[in-house]
Amino acid sequence: GAVVSQHPSWVICKSGTSVKIECRSLDFQATTMFWYRQFPKQSLMLMATSNEGSKATYEQGVEKDKFLINHASLTLSTLTVTSAHPEDSSFYICSARSGYQSGELFFGEGSRLTVL
């Protein structure tokens, strides 16, 4: 099946620094990718829809200047958490939509961010 890979799988950073998370579709082209955030014991919350070659679409309440998304190619989307603070600590998960009519999503392994 299709594979989506995230890197890094975990990262620890100091407060105030920026962290970049990469999401790659390994064996298919993804014009649309989605970024989710998940806090402990909670469901996945959609942060933004990443569109190749255009600006991302952010969900209400998600700061676009804090969570920078770049989808420069059909196989790579990046999420940069700028000036990270402890409250940004979370599990970040990306997904890519398959080209099938049914539109299944393929998810990355997730990236756990801990901000000290």
Partner 1 sequence: DAKTTQPNSMESNEEEPVHLPCNHSTISGTDYIHWYRQLPSQGPEYVIHGLTSNVNNRMASLAIAEDRKSSTLILHRATLRDAAVYYCILRDRGSGTYKYIFGTGTRLKVLA
Residues lying near partner 1 in the complex (CB under 8 A) are found at 1, 4, 6, 32, 34, 36, 43-46, 49, 57, 91, 93, 95, 97, 102-110, 112
- Whichever of 86 and 101 has its CB closer to partner 1, that residue is 101
Q: Which residue has the tokens 């599990």?
A: 91
Cβ neighbors of 21 (< 8 A, separation 6 or more) are 6, 7, 8, 11, 78, 79, 80, 81, 92, 94, 111, 113
Q: Which residue has the tokens 């105030």?
A: 16
CB of 10 to partner 1, least distance (A): 9
CB of 7 to partner 1, least distance (A): 13
- Whichever of 35 and 88 has its CB closer to partner 1, that residue is 35
Rounded to an integer, what distance in angstroms lies between the CA atom of residue 62 and that of residue 70?
15
CB of 102 to partner 1, least distance (A): 5
- Whichever of 10 and 17 has its CB closer to partner 1, that residue is 10
